[in-house]
Amino acid sequence: MISVAIDGPVGAGKSSVARASAKRLDFIYADTGALYRGVALYAVRNGISENDADFADKISAILHEITVELKIKEGDQRIFLCGEDVSEEIRLPEISMAASSVSSVPSVRDFLLDLQRDIAKKNNVLMDGRDIGTVVLPDAQLKIFITASPEIRARRRFEELINKGVETDFEQVLNDLNRRDYQDSHRTVAPLKMAEGAVLLDTSELSFEQAVDRVVELTETIVERNRT
C-alpha cells in the first residue's frame, strides 16, 4: 500500500487539493480533521467548553461513549458520530475552534491514532491532517507540507464559508485562523510541524489545478518507484 501524508495549517487547501488528487490517482482520501471535529461536536453537544478548567479530564471521560467513523459514499467521505452522519454540522466555525482545542488533549490523539493507521493499512491513501507525516504515518512513502500565507488562507476560508451560506466576516475568519494555527503548532503533543523529508508546497501563488498537478506528479513518481 502507498501512503501519502499531507500536513499543513488551516485553509492551505489541503482537503480540496488532496480530495481532487486522490480522485485522479484512484487513491482513498482521508480527512483526519473530520475525526477531531466529530469528537468536538460530541463535546459541544454535551455542554463541554474549552474554557472549562477541567476540560481535558471531561473530554477524556466521555471518549468511551464515542464512535467516529470515516465512510466513503459515492466517492465522497462522510463522517459518522455514533452512527449519525454529521458531515455538514462538523464544518461550522464554532466546531473548528472546538476541534483545535480537543485535539490538544493527548487521550483524544491516542483514541484516534489506530483508526487513522488502519485506513492506511488497507488502502492506497492520501491522508491529510497536522501530524500525519510526523506521528500517524511516519513511514509514509511521500510527505507533503502544504501551506500559503495567512491572508490568502483566510480569504479562501472566508469564501468557502460564504458559499455555504454561513454568516461571517473576513476579520473574524482571519482571527480564528491565526488562533487555531497558534494552538495547533504550540500544543505539547504532536504539534503541527513539517516532517523531516517532506516536500514543501506553497500554494500562495498556485491555482488549484496547479497544486493538484503537483501532488499527482509527486505521488505518481512514488507509485512508479514502488513498481520497480
**Can residue 195 be called a binding residue for ligand DC (CB under 6 A)?**
no
* Binding residue for ligand DC, selected from 130, 143, 153, 157, defined by CB under 6 A: 130
Q: Which is nearer to ligand DC, 41 or 212 (CB)?
A: 41
- Binding window for ligand DC (CB under 6 A); candidates: 45-53, 64-72, 127-135, 147-155: 127-135
- If DSSP states are collapsed to H, E and C, what string results for the chain? CCEEEEECCCCCCHHHHHHHHHHHHCCEEEECHHHHHHHHHHHHHCCCCCCCCCHHHHHHHHHHHCCEEEEEECCEEEEEECCEECCCHHHCHHHHHHHHHHCCCHHHHHHHHHHHHHHHHHCCEEEEECCHHHHHCCCCCEEEEEECCHHHHHHHHHHHHHHCCCCCCHHHHHHHHHHHHHHHHHCCCCCCCCCCCCEEEECCCCCHHHHHHHHHHHHHHHHHHHHC
Cβ-based nearer residue to ligand DC, 18 or 212 = 18
Task: Count residues near ligand DC (CB under 6 A).
Answer: 15
Position among 5, 37, 146, 203 found at the interface with ligand DC (CB under 6 A):
37
Choice between 189 and 218, CB closer to ligand DC? 189
123 binds ligand DC (CB under 6 A): no
- Report, in Å, the least distance between residue 179 CB and ligand DC: 10
Q: Does 176 bind ligand DC (CB under 6 A)?
A: no
- 184 in contact with ligand DC (CB under 6 A): yes
Nearer to ligand DC, 13 or 129 (CB): 129
Residues in touch with ligand DC (CB under 6 A): 10, 32-33, 36-37, 96, 99-100, 103, 129-132, 180, 184
